[in-house]
Structure 1
Amino acid sequence: MALARIGCAGWSIPKAAGAAFPGEGSHLQRYAAVLNAAEINSSFYRPHQPQTYERWAASVPDSFRFAVKAPKRMTHELRLQDCAEAMRQFAAETTGLGEKLGCVLVQLPPSLQLDAATATGFFALVRENFGCMIACEARHPSWFGDEATALLQAAQVTRVIADPPKGQPGPHVATTGATYARLHGSPRIYYSSYEDSFLDQAAASLAGRVGDGRDAWCIFDNTASGAAAANAVALLQRLS
């Protein structure tokens, strides 16, 4: 059954949004009692022990899923080249999530141009190590042309719908049947809360995709002002 997965980058609960969540439990337990997905961004900056991932997995319901952001060691430092060792380490760490690992998110630096051979090899390496959904948020214009679309389609990698889009010269072109949206806040990135009209449109779009049998993730990354949790709950209420 297709699902709409609604969540935030992280699981902090600002005081202003606290009334929408239970009062008891850890932040993650309270968060997961309402929302059914979360993006782990800290993995981009530093490794975590498998036991840490195990603890997170044990804190959420069976139906909950995490997306884990690929380490910047691979995406920003190695720039997708010679990543076998780093990928094995990342995969070994995240085994603690078990079946609650729903997606690996690959966010690329704005300066990284498409190199088809390198990208093909990298995504094959991701697929060798992970059996879940793979999503890619590229931010250089070269990743939005026909060559990139064909490459992502062949690799079964979901192109992220980003708001605001960066590097994307035209409308979004899907590369798989699934959807992964990252809403960073607009007009002020990471800060702005989304207005009701935007959330209405997002809810209608997600409902349509799920109704067609397609999984759809929507992650709010406008966390700097604490808007993400309230926006996620408001979107979930519209879908309910």
Structure 2
Amino acid sequence: MNDLFSSAAHAPGVHIGIGGWTYVPWRGGTFYPVGLVQRRELEYASQQLTSIEINGTYYGAQKPHIYAAWRDATPEGFMFSAKAPKRIVTARKLAASGGQIEDFIDGISHLGDRLGPLLWQFDAGRTLDREDLAAFLQLLPQQVNGRRQRHALEVRDPGCFDAELVALIRQHGIALVYTDSVAYPNAADLSGDFVYARLMGSRDEHATGYPASELAPWADRVRRWRKGEDATELPHLAAPSAAAAPREVFLYFISAAKHRNPAAARELQRLIDAN
């Protein structure tokens, strides 16, 4: 198998990828080569991309040895992020979910140095109590097994999506997830030492999901975020951050014309690496 992944060949601190790696339309030459056996799809995907957001953890956690196998199937420098389990983020009392948080993180920590941010997504229709949310955020560990653990928050409750939310997560160094979806609230406020973006607008008519005229500005934003600059042209909830510290960037192409997302990720990575 041709290994296209080389951490030295990619812009440092930039992680571009897709959601998951098991998807039938990616087989047969669309993304995965014809004849590639399914058990080697993660190995192949991790050689073509620099990151993958694990979506399956939203529906159920894996056994520790499964996470360890995923770690061992991927090259050094590759990183996963992962969606937190539905049973936690839909709990009636978030502040009482400490035990479940510990169980989830104890298992997924077996990804070792391949583990990047954990995504805590509160879906549309969930009304958040701000005090309960504040207590919940205090439960999220900043270190796991001696490694720094990062967290990203995606809130789709318009009533909680405001400058007060940004102030709260800045206290904890949690990243506010930016999406380009027209269906959900979105804002690009900088609130942690990394940026987490989920692009949900790929279209079938473009071989790379997004046209070049849209991918080029995203490459520029990623470069600016890496320098510590703010993408002030995107919507914000609070005053733009004045901090100029470099930030790591995690950006994923999610949903929409899903069969185009691997091509979108590879093209954006190419544009970033070229400069």
Aligned counterparts, 1:47-86, within 5 A: 47-78=61-92, 80-86=94-100
- In the alignment, is the contact (CA less than 8 A) between 2:202 and 2:257 conserved in 1? no
CA–CA distance in 2 between the matches of 1:92 and 1:171? Answer: 31
Partner in structure 2 of residue 135 of structure 1: 152
Could you list the per-position Cα deviations for residues 193-223 of structure 1 after superposition, in whole angstroms to 9, with x for gaps in the alignment?
Answer: 3222111111111112223421111111136
1:146 and 2:160 matched: no
Q: CA deviation at 1:94?
A: 0.7
Partner in structure 2 of residue 97 of structure 1: 111
Residue 88 of structure 1 is aligned with which of 92, 95, 102? 102
- In the alignment, is the contact (CA less than 8 A) between 2:15 and 2:249 conserved in 1? yes
CA–CA distance in 2 between the matches of 1:187 and 1:223? Answer: 7
- In the alignment, is the contact (CA less than 8 A) between 1:163 and 1:186 conserved in 2? no
Task: Please identify the structure whose Cα radius of gyration is greater.
Answer: 2
Q: Which moved more, 1:113-122 or 1:144-153?
A: 113-122
* Equivalent position SS for 1:111: coil
* Equivalent position SS for 1:17: coil
- In the alignment, is the contact (CA less than 8 A) between 1:114 and 1:148 conserved in 2? no
CA–CA distance in 1 between the matches of 2:258 and 2:12? Answer: 31
TM-score (norm 1): 0.87
Partner in structure 2 of residue 201 of structure 1: 217
CA–CA distance in 2 between the matches of 1:186 and 1:220? Answer: 8
Structure 2 spans left out of the alignment, 5+ residues = 1-10, 229-245
Structure 1 spans left out of the alignment, 5+ residues = none
Q: Percent identity?
A: 25
* Equivalent position SS for 2:58: helix
Partner in structure 2 of residue 112 of structure 1: 126
Q: CA deviation at 1:176?
A: 2.2
- In the alignment, is the contact (CA less than 8 A) between 2:20 and 2:55 conserved in 1? yes
CA–CA distance in 2 between the matches of 1:79 and 1:230? Answer: 40
> Closer, same or farther in 2 for the Cα pair 1:224/1:110, shift >3 Å?
same
Q: CA deviation at 1:173?
A: 2.3
Partner in structure 2 of residue 10 of structure 1: 20
CA–CA distance in 2 between the matches of 1:80 and 1:128? Answer: 18
* Equivalent position SS for 1:26: helix
Partner in structure 2 of residue 221 of structure 1: 254
Flag the structure with higher helix content.
1
Q: CA deviation at 1:142?
A: 2.5
Partner in structure 1 of residue 238 of structure 2: none
1:210 and 2:226 matched: yes
> Closer, same or farther in 2 for the Cα pair 1:112/1:79, shift >3 Å?
farther
> Closer, same or farther in 2 for the Cα pair 1:49/1:129, shift >3 Å?
farther
* Equivalent position SS for 2:90: helix
Letter of the structure 2 residue corresponding to residue 194 of structure 1:
Y
Residue 26 of structure 1 is aligned with which of 40, 65, 86? 40
CA–CA distance in 1 between the matches of 2:193 and 2:143? Answer: 22
- In the alignment, is the contact (CA less than 8 A) between 1:139 and 1:166 conserved in 2? no
- In the alignment, is the contact (CA less than 8 A) between 1:46 and 1:71 conserved in 2? yes
Partner in structure 1 of residue 3 of structure 2: none
Q: CA deviation at 1:129?
A: 6.5
Could you list the per-position Cα deviations for residues 129-148 of structure 1 after superposition, in whole angstroms to 9, with x for gaps in the alignment?
Answer: 74321001110112321211
